[in-house]
Copies of this chain bind each other. A is one copy, B any other.
Amino acid sequence: MTAVAGTRDGSDVPQEQSADGSTDQRRELAKANHVLVDQGILDGFGHVSVRSDEDPTTFLLARNLAPGLVQPQDVQVLTLDGDTDDPRKPYLERHIHAQIYRARPDVRAVVHSHSPAVIPFGVSSVPLRPILHMAGFLAPRVPVFEARDTMGAGSDLLVSSAESGVALAEALGDAAVVLMRGHGSTTVGGSLPEVVYRAIYTEVNARVQVEAERLGACTYLTDEEAAATVATNTPQIGRAWQYWQDRAV
């Protein structure tokens, strides 16, 4: 996976720097929360995290708070067991993040959302597939996590234990997105801008695909096209990230 350094990738837009790297990450994480709300990916629920620059065996995630309200001081540091010294209540589903960071050293940011256009693809037999060049990261396939396989048919569907986090990370495998049946999806990336971009375009692709399926005779991206679009588009993500941040103020 290619890491994207957001507005620090050489664009000519100056960025306010603070002396403390960790503080910068907290600010960027708060911003990512607001962007995802503004773009309709998160509502009162869902969360986004980033692996710590200082200690890659930890990650940063807001305390149990609606994403639209998250400020830098609401960010907690958690271990890859999902533990934290912070006395404030954490999210129930922090194990989604912890177990994916453990299983996937390449992953530096994770979004868990209930974005609405994606959910139908998690409950039906039609797979989500890349139909537009902005969503090539969906190739070669988008796996579906069925909670019943590990938790039985009477669970609350939530990934609220290390065990279910491991099962979700296994379902994700080396993909960029895993659908969660009757629940939502989880998206991973090499940076906050990249995972935000992917979460947004997973939703856009789902909206477009559901309409195209009904018109019939869809042409999807080939796996080669998908890989080529990812190579080209990844260095362009900073352009949208800059705009999304501007809008979400």
Contact = CB atoms under 8 A, between A and B. Distances in A.
Interface of A: 11-12, 43-45, 64-69, 88-89, 92, 114, 116-117, 119-121, 123-126, 131-134, 153-158, 160, 181-184, 204, 207-208, 210-222, 224-225, 228-229, 231-233, 236, 239-244, 246-247
Contact of A215 (B120, B204, B220): B120
26 contacts: A44-B243, A45-B239, A45-B240, A65-B239, A66-B239, A66-B240, A66-B242, A67-B243, A114-B132, A120-B211, A123-B212, A123-B219, A124-B217, A124-B219, A133-B156, A133-B158, A154-B224, A154-B228, A155-B228, A156-B225, A156-B233, A157-B228, A158-B232, A182-B220, A182-B221, A182-B225
A121 B215 contact: yes
- In the A-B complex, the 9 residue pairs with the smallest Cβ-Cβ separation, listed nearest first, are A44-B240, A66-B243, A154-B224, A120-B212, A156-B228, A124-B215, A125-B217, A156-B232, A133-B157
A246 B182 contact: no
Contact of A155 (B181, B217, B225): B225
Given A11-B89, A45-B240, A156-B232, 15 more contacts: A45-B236, A45-B239, A64-B236, A66-B243, A67-B243, A68-B243, A92-B236, A120-B212, A125-B215, A125-B217, A133-B156, A155-B228, A156-B229, A182-B219, A182-B225
Contact of A211 (B132, B210, B224): B210
Contacts of A207: 116
Contacts of A214: 210, 214
